[in-house]
Structure 1
């Protein structure tokens, strides 16, 4: 490292801030190159003949390496890369998540319906207490 910074013989003329600036210039180019190298490797990794666990760990390690140098890969992008690199043998698995759309309202309605069918004292039209307001225990229908 000393040779890189002080190779021009100006070590006597360098101040603290200038030294940091010189280091930043030297290492920023290599840092950008490293980011590009890791991103390219992440985006082009394929399962091929790798065992599944080894393939997953390889992608995870690349994503972790990118995160360490300040270039995190989103969970969504990790999943997309994992699925995209599987190959034709896994088309049925890859196609399934793409065609399934999660509908929160449908999920809520289905779960509410199941809850109501189990007769937990909830009447959809009248609430938990059969439509009576608070304090109206004497006015039961």
Structure 2
């Protein structure tokens, strides 16, 4: 046990109190981690990342959420990945209709 954790549990007088306090401490850390990961998952955009890097990043975050006890459904994962790609497309201010159409068709072909 690290000194930091021990200092937060030093007040416990019985093993039951110690166990309960340790679980609560662990739970708050886990909830905090889940909140951070979900926020990161929703904020992540493809932007200038290579598609492989973007997909790998999103998969890593989704896997970490599963490990933290808050798994995402495949629908949630896919929706957020698509949203991150679409938002990146629309952030390009000088994208012409032809460029947008070509980009979306290329993306569609990659999916197929």
RMSD between superposed Cα atoms in Å: 2.4
Which runs of no fewer than 5 residues in structure 2 stay unpaired?
Answer: 90-99
Relative to 1, partners in 2 of residues 1:70 and 1:21: Cα closer, same or farther, differing over 3 Å? same
- The residue that corresponds to 2:94 in the other structure is none
Number of the residue aligned with 2:93: none
**Unpaired stretches in structure 1, ≥5 consecutive residues:** 98-141
- SS of the equivalent of 1:46 reads coil
Q: Aligned pair count?
A: 93
Q: Which runs of 4+ in 1 moved over 6 A?
A: none
TM-score, normalised on structure 1?
A: 0.57
Residues 74 and 4 of structure 1: CA distance in aligned 2, closer, same or farther (over 3 Å): same
Contact kept, 8 Å, 1:5 with 1:22, in 2: the verdict is no
> So what's the TM-score if we normalise by structure 2?
0.70
Higher percent of residues as helix: 2
- What displacement does 1:82 show? 0.8
Partners of 2:41 and 2:9 in 1: how far apart? 38
Partner of 1:70: 69
Task: Decide which structure has the larger Cα Rg and report it.
Answer: 1
- Over residues 30-76 of structure 1, what are the superposed CA-to-partner deviations in whole Å (9 max), with x where a residue is unaligned? 21111000000011110001000000000000000000111001101
Q: Which has the higher contact order (CA 8 A, sep 6+)?
A: 2
